Amino acid sequence: MRYSKIPSELFFRNRSNFSTLMNANTIAVLASNDIKHTNADDVMGFAQNNDLFYLSGIDQEETILLLYPDAHVATNKEILFIKKTNEHIKIWEGDKLDKNQAKAISGVKRVEWIEDFEKILQLIAFEADGFYLGHNEHVKRVTNGQETRQDRLIKWCKEKYPLHDYYRAAKLTRGLRQIKSEEEVNCMSRAAEISSEGFLRVLKAAKPGMREFELEAELIYALTRNGGNRHAFKPIVASGKNACALHYNTNDDICNDGDFVLLDFGVCYANYNSDTTRCFPVNGHFSDRQKQVYNAVLKCLKDCSELLQVGVILPEYELQMAKLVETELIGLGLLTKEDIANQNPDAPLYKKYFMHGTAHHIGLDVHDVGLYSRPVEAGMVLTCEPGIYIPEEQIGCRLENDYLITENGPVNLTAQLPIEIEEIETLMN
């Protein structure tokens, strides 16, 4: 693997916490993701099922984790099933994990070949009263009708064991994954360090006349050189008017002299993610208007990030951010106090220039699992990303950091990324 080994104690602790929440005498079964293919015989790249990774640390396809905390036989309490390799696989794909390697990564003492899963499960299934099965319950889930390995496992298990009770593993991991351990924060901090290197490369390379994808290439270099798994998401490199399209990512336009560039990108390192946004003038010098808009957004970021405190309810926090942005829009001459006083409260005017939320959980998913009705707690990691978008002026500005919540207030995990105007202009010139 590209990233430094994560201590197996993390996964042992995660399994212990998960098992404590399981109903009595139940078995949890979590499966890896499928490998997605292109049109011919190539693949899109493997991304592990995050709940399986959270509980095992195994970053390989064709993997199943079985947990049975109340098993009468101690060796049945935790069983990891992995893909059995052979000479053909070694020749065409290279080495896969052997049993000892899987034990060392996961801390699971009993490792079996996945071809023996059905036989071993049947030997213990009838001792149990129910199953916890994994399923992608993410609010932003997009499947396009594709059946996953988890879907197939659910169907198979219910056909094989129809009279057992069934429970949702994702309901348990959703709660656990919101609170990050020291090891997880270290991975996210490393992702942020790589992001910082990528941004510095972009600032030094940027000049009028470049294509947006040329700047994207600098991010790719930093990501690959430092052992990142992949982009956390397809990066947004949006110059001029393109920055006013929130999810623009074709990144094929020319960065013209005078353009303001919005760079929204993240690094996936050890399956943990960063998510950062920075803006800069491609010619290295902020115009007066660009400075006004940028400083307005930066003020919102600084002021509202300090509100990310233990006990905060995120929907209420979002309303506070909206008020801050509304005030800055008045200062920029885009709205007036009279406009605000006479607006329809169900259709606030600020949404013309600021139309998205500003705080989301981040971790194994960029938009990580979690209930937004749950008050903010120490150990959560949240983004803060205010923005102002003025299509008629071809200026779109968003600034985003990642914050670890502590009892003493938020800690900016992405503080090493330059953000002050003076810093950016100095680095570019």
Q: What is the dihedral of CA 45, 50, 56, 58, to 10 degrees?
A: 0
Whether the CB-CB separation of 386 and 249 falls below 8 Å is answered with: no
Whether 99 and 237 map to the same domain: the answer is no
In a domain, 3, yes or no: no
In a domain, 189, yes or no: yes
CA distances, 51 to each of 38, 67, 143, 172 (Å)? 25, 13, 17, 10
In terms of residues, how long is the chain? 429
Whether the CB-CB separation of 14 and 7 falls below 8 Å is answered with: no
353: helix, strand or coil: coil
Distance of CA 4 to the CA centre of its chain: 19
Whether 150 and 247 map to the same domain: the answer is no
In a domain, 165, yes or no: yes
| Domain interval for residue 195 | 182-428
- Consecutive sets of 10 residues in the chain, 429 residues long: mean pLDDT of each? 92 98 98 82 82 97 97 97 88 88 97 97 96 82 72 94 96 96 98 98 97 98 95 97 96 97 98 98 98 98 97 96 96 95 92 95 95 95 98 98 97 98 97
pLDDT of res. 140:
65
In a domain, 1, yes or no: no
7: helix, strand or coil: coil
> φ and ψ at 59, to 5 degrees?
-115, 50
pLDDT of res. 386:
97
Q: What is the dihedral of CA 404, 405, 408, 414, to 10 degrees?
A: 20
Whether 318 and 231 map to the same domain: the answer is yes
How far, in Å, CA of 360 to CA of 384, rounded?
8
Domain end among 151, 177, 203: 177
pLDDT of res. 310:
97
**Nearest alpha-carbon partner for 277 in 211, 186, 360:** 360
pLDDT of res. 145:
62
pLDDT of res. 328:
97
Q: Which two tokens stand for residue 351?
A: 């949404």
List strands edge to edge, sheet with 110-113. 110-113, 78-82, 64-67, 26-31, 130-133, 165-168
Whether 277 and 403 map to the same domain: the answer is yes
Whether 59 and 29 map to the same domain: the answer is yes
**Nearest alpha-carbon partner for 306 in 386, 371, 421:** 386
Residues contacting 112, CB < 8 A, separation 6+? 79, 80, 81, 82, 120
Whether the CB-CB separation of 247 and 262 falls below 8 Å is answered with: no
Q: How many domains does the chain contain in total?
A: 2
Whether 151 and 252 map to the same domain: the answer is no
Whether the CB-CB separation of 307 and 317 falls below 8 Å is answered with: yes
pLDDT of res. 177:
97
pLDDT of res. 90:
84
DSSP tag of 321: H
pLDDT of res. 144:
58
Whether 75 and 191 map to the same domain: the answer is no
Helix 182-205 × helix 421-428 angle, to 10°: 50
Whether 28 and 81 map to the same domain: the answer is yes
How far, in Å, CA of 160 to CA of 258, rounded?
65
In a domain, 331, yes or no: yes
Residues contacting 101, CB < 8 A, separation 6+? none
Q: Token match 């309490």: residue?
A: 77
> Full-prediction pTM beyond 0.85?
yes
Domain end among 158, 177, 196: 177
> φ and ψ at 301, to 5 degrees?
-65, -50
Domain end among 119, 148, 177: 177
CA distances, 221 to each of 129, 216, 427 (Å)? 51, 9, 19
